[in-house]
Amino acid sequence: MVRDVTRRPTILDVAARAGVSKSTVSLVLQGSDQVRPETRDAVRTAMVEIGYVYNRAAANLRSASVGLVGLVINDLRNPFFTQFATTLQMTLAARGYATVIANSDEDPALQARLVGSMIEHGVAGLVISPAYGSAGATFDQLARTGLPVLQVLRKTDPRTDLFPFASFDYAAGSVAAARHLLERGARRIAFVGGLPGRAITQQRQSGWRTVMAEHGLDTVALEGKPTRAFGMQVAGTLHARHPEIDAAICFNDLVALGLIAGFARAGRQVGTDFRVVGFDDIEEAAQSWPQLSSVACDIDRFARDTAARLLDWMVDARRPAPEILMPVALVTRDSSIAPCPCAASHPTRIQ
Amino acid sequence: MVRDVTRRPTILDVAARAGVSKSTVSLVLQGSDQVRPETRDAVRTAMVEIGYVYNRAAANLRSASVGLVGLVINDLRNPFFTQFATTLQMTLAARGYATVIANSDEDPALQARLVGSMIEHGVAGLVISPAYGSAGATFDQLARTGLPVLQVLRKTDPRTDLFPFASFDYAAGSVAAARHLLERGARRIAFVGGLPGRAITQQRQSGWRTVMAEHGLDTVALEGKPTRAFGMQVAGTLHARHPEIDAAICFNDLVALGLIAGFARAGRQVGTDFRVVGFDDIEEAAQSWPQLSSVACDIDRFARDTAARLLDWMVDARRPAPEILMPVALVTRDSSIAPCPCAASHPTRIQ
DNA sequence: AAGGCTCTTTGGATCGTTCCAATTTCAGCG
DNA sequence: CGCTGAAATTGGAACGATCCAAAGAGCCTT
């Protein structure tokens, strides 16, 4: 009886070719050291010869470990999240895990479907930067599966014992930014961007509020979407209606870059009569002009740490700490310190 | 005999609970219309009651259709590719497919491993923007699997019958950009950015070369990495050594924005004495200052088309056309037309 | 030569679904 | 009431790997 040639070869075909049993082939696949080297090589050769491809679905059915990790992000178009996703995926790939990446686009219903789909695909763990909104059912479902799940950058479910949370110490960054601007002579510092009522907006504002209160200074917060467009819009408002304001801490670098672009359009030069500090220190911050001061969140390190914590949990069943805040560093550049548009830039990293 | 409570429930448990056979449960799962509505509802209720989750691995083992699509991208950090990946993933999600996204980081060896991993996971189709370099073995492997594979934005394997290719009509965009700059009075138009020898660089240059030749004008190409940093660097070079050059077509918007930032640092105003057109029309182009003229590649539409073509192939076995070039449109903004820095901008879409 | 020990190898059961052919159910009809 | 055909349901055989207990091979000891 001849085997159907159009069928994908299985370990049985490999076994027949190599003259061993399927169990031996399976052992070779798993890299077991209790197979004689000659046998192992013969099996490997047979695999190559007949073009065998491993069938993970079949393996998974029996052993329930999949080598697949889910990543759900609320806004994958934001370069900050893109960077996180990319580094996380590559770190996991280096450890032999494939990553299913999905964008919830800030939609809890879509997020629920995506998480459901990932559970079905049998992911071994999940990293989620959750969309805002009611996701109780989604997290309840995850709790029932007992899957390792990490909340990152945002915490929408308070059960950090079930869903450990990690983010950056934004409040400390906010303090550093405010102190720095005061030192450079600014007095009326506005906070620009960030959606009202959200935890992350409050965190990024909190240090600034504290420092301003310490110095008995008024605070103006112009809240809005964390986008370049909003930054540009605010530039117009500030220029026309709040000429007294001489500095801004922006919710993120996109807002800050929009603000700078808006000021430039109005013929006003950021860095001299107006100082700006952003959040995130995205790659572009060092390449814009003027170069943008920013509270640097080392997102690559954060992504690698996240991968490590997830792997610890998945592989060694070591549940990570319920809550971690990674330190941030203020990087000062032209947008907050330059005395003159033509001066060369020497970024300084403090704290 | 009582079932182990720690075990995940299977369709057998559902069947027992609903008082039907496993086959009926399977039919319900597949949304078959040959199940009586009452039975269907009873099964659905049972599923919810015992917290059943579908095991895709098992289903896949039998039926070999996985609902999983692979996406391999050479540079996921590039906003152009990010946008593509995000829209593709969301379009496929709407059709019930999950997407495994991976970044090859321009490394053919890593790319080979990623593709291998995706095949193992049993993806039903693959979209790849391949890394440059020797990937013959990878594509041979794909050819052997008979999987639907689309090459997008880059073609490293010439067998477009096996791996249909789709991209944008960059050459036409290049013609439009060059004509436009000449109309606005520019004469010495440089081409900036793009790695030497690559097909995409040649395509984006070709129209410009043709038009310049038609007008008997010299061409200067400053080739280099498609990054903001390279654009900034070139700004210095042009300013210092090529003051006669009065316009540039940039390989992409990142280079163009870097170039503009570099000119701004040198105190030179783009849009008046120097004109710039980029490629890709990324979101930022409309929000920078001056706003950037760009050859718009409708990446969202491209992503949706790609998803549709892949689904046609996977679901209906309709193999798509071997080669498609999607038309592009030149969007003119301040960086190539504004007579004065303070003028309001009125973007115009031509062609 | 037989027994004991370690190192390799093996067959059969198993995982949770889908597929298929066969069986049961049931309404309509003579 | 029995027959018929369509609709609904069912049991058993896959799918391709892993797991496990057990068997085989080889070597050393007595």
Q: What residue ranges do the domains of chain B occupy?
A: 11-54, 67-168+299-326, 170-298+330-350
Task: Please tell me the predicted confidence (pLDDT) of residue B168.
Answer: 96
Q: Considering chain B, what percentage of its residues have pLDDT values greater than 70? A: 93
pLDDT for res A96: 84
- Beta bridge partners, B206, equal none
> Which residue in A61, A79, A289 is closest to B79 by CB distance?
A79
Domain range B67-168+299-326, its CATH number among 3.40.50.1100, 3.40.50.2300, 3.40.50.300, 3.30.450.20: 3.40.50.2300
Does A290 sit behind a cis peptide bond, omega within 30 degrees of 0 on the bond before it? yes
DSSP A242-293: -TT--EEEESSHHHHHHHHHHHHHTT--BTTTBEEEEEE--GGGGTSSSPPE
Judging by DSSP bridges, how do beta strands A275-280 and A293-296 pair with one another? parallel
Mapped onto helix, strand or coil, the DSSP state of residue B241 is helix
Residue A131 CB coordination number (10 Å) = 25
Does B225 contact strand D, using a CB cutoff of 7 Å? no
Contact B261 A53 (CB under 8 A): no
Question: How many helices and strands (H and E) does chain A possess?
Answer: 13, 13
3-state secondary structure (DSSP) of residue B99: strand
Instruction: Give the position of tokens 């009509």.
Output: B169
- Continuous H helices in chain B: 11-18, 22-29, 37-50, 56-63, 79-94, 108-120, 136-145, 170-183, 199-214, 228-241, 253-265, 299-316, 334-337
CB atoms within 10 A of CB B305: 18
DSSP state of A343: S
List the single best residue of B29, B30, B76, B335 to mutate versus A (max A Cβ within 10 A): B76
Q: Is the pLDDT of residue A45 over 60?
A: yes
Whether the pLDDT of residue A78 is over 70: the answer is: yes
The mean pLDDT value for A21-38 works out to 91
Return the C-alpha torsion angle B44, B47, B49, B50, nearest 10.
170
> What are the pLDDT digits (tens) for B12-54?
999 999 999 999 999 999 888 888 999 999 999 999 998 898 8
Number of CB atoms found within 10 A of residue B17's CB: 18
Using CA atoms, how far apart are residues A13 and A221, in angstroms rounded to an integer?
69
More confident of the two residues A327 and A55:
A327
What per-residue confidence (pLDDT) applies to A1?
A: 38
Q: What is the pLDDT of residue B256?
A: 97
For chain B, the average pLDDT equals: 89
Copy the structure tokens of residue A99. Answer: 């990553």
CA-wise closest residue to B305 among B142, B150, B80: B150
Domains B67-168+299-326 and B170-298+330-350 share a fold: yes
CATH number corresponding to A63-163 = 3.40.50.2300
B321: pLDDT confidence band, cut at 50, 70 and 90?
A: very high
* Model confidence pLDDT, tens digit, residues A87-114: 999 999 898 888 888 899 899 998 998 8
pLDDT of A347 > 80? The answer is no
* A96-105, A154-163, B222-231: least confident range: A96-105
- What CATH superfamily is the domain A170-298+330-350? Response regulator (3.40.50.2300)
User: What percent of chain A clears pLDDT 70, i.e. is strictly above it?
Assistant: 94
| Nucleotide at minimal C1' distance from the B14 CA | C16
User: Does residue A39 carry a pLDDT above 70?
Assistant: yes
A330 by DSSP, 3-state: which? strand
pLDDT of residue B232: 94
Residue-level pLDDT at B338: 56
Q: What secondary structure letter does DSSP report for B30? A: T
* CA torsion, ordered B52, B55, B58, B63, to nearest 10 deg: 110
With left for phi above 0 and alpha for psi between -120 and 50, is residue A293 left, alpha or beta? beta
Higher pLDDT, A344 or B60: B60
Contact A99 B99 (CB under 8 A): no
**Quick one: tokens of A124?**
């071994």
Tokens standing for B10? 């299977």
What pLDDT is attached to residue A273?
A: 82
**B117, A93: Cβ pair inside 8 Å?**
yes
Mean pLDDT of A35-47: 92
Strand partners, A348: A332
Q: Which residues of B touch A144 (CB under 8 A)?
A: 51
Distance, CA of A201 to chain centre: 17
pLDDT tens for B92-130 read: 989 888 888 889 989 999 899 889 888 888 888 999 999
Residue A39: CB less than 7 A from any atom in strand C? yes
**DSSP category for residue B131:** P
The confidence band for A218, taking pLDDT boundaries of 50, 70 and 90, is very high
- Distance, angstroms, CA A46 to C1' D29? 40
The answer to whether strand D lies under 7 Å from the CB of residue B62 is: yes
The CATH classification number of B11-54 equals: 1.10.260.40
* Token digits of residue A86: 């990319």
d(Cα B150, Cα A12) in Å, to the nearest integer?
32
The integer distance in angstroms from the CA atom of B24 to the C1' atom of C25 is 15
pLDDT of residue A77: 86
Name which residue leads in pLDDT, B339 or B206: B206
Q: What is the pLDDT of residue A267?
A: 80
What average pLDDT does range B183-190 have in this prediction? 94
> Which amino acid would we find at residue A38?
E
* Antiparallel, parallel or unpaired: β B293-296 and B329-332: antiparallel
Give the confidence band of A272 by pLDDT, cuts at 50, 70, 90: confident
pLDDT number for residue B339:
54
Helix (H, G, I), strand (E, B) or coil at B147: coil
The chain-wide mean pLDDT, for chain A, equals: 89
Q: What percent of chain B has pLDDT over 90?
A: 63
Return chain B residues 12..41 having CB < 7 Å to nucleic acid strand C: 12, 22-23, 26, 29-30
pLDDT at site A64? 67
- CA A94 to chain B, closest CA, distance in angstroms equals 9
Q: What is the pLDDT of residue B351?
A: 45
Compute φ and ψ for B95, nearest 5 degrees. -100, 10
Nearest-Cα distance to chain B for A118, in Å, is 8
**pLDDT for residue A338:** 56
Of B103, B261, B341, which is closest to A86 when you measure between CB atoms?
B103
As ranges, strand C nucleotides with an atom below 7 A of a protein CB are 7-12, 14-21
H or E, element range at A58? helix A56-63
* Contact, A6 CB vs strand D, < 7 Å: no
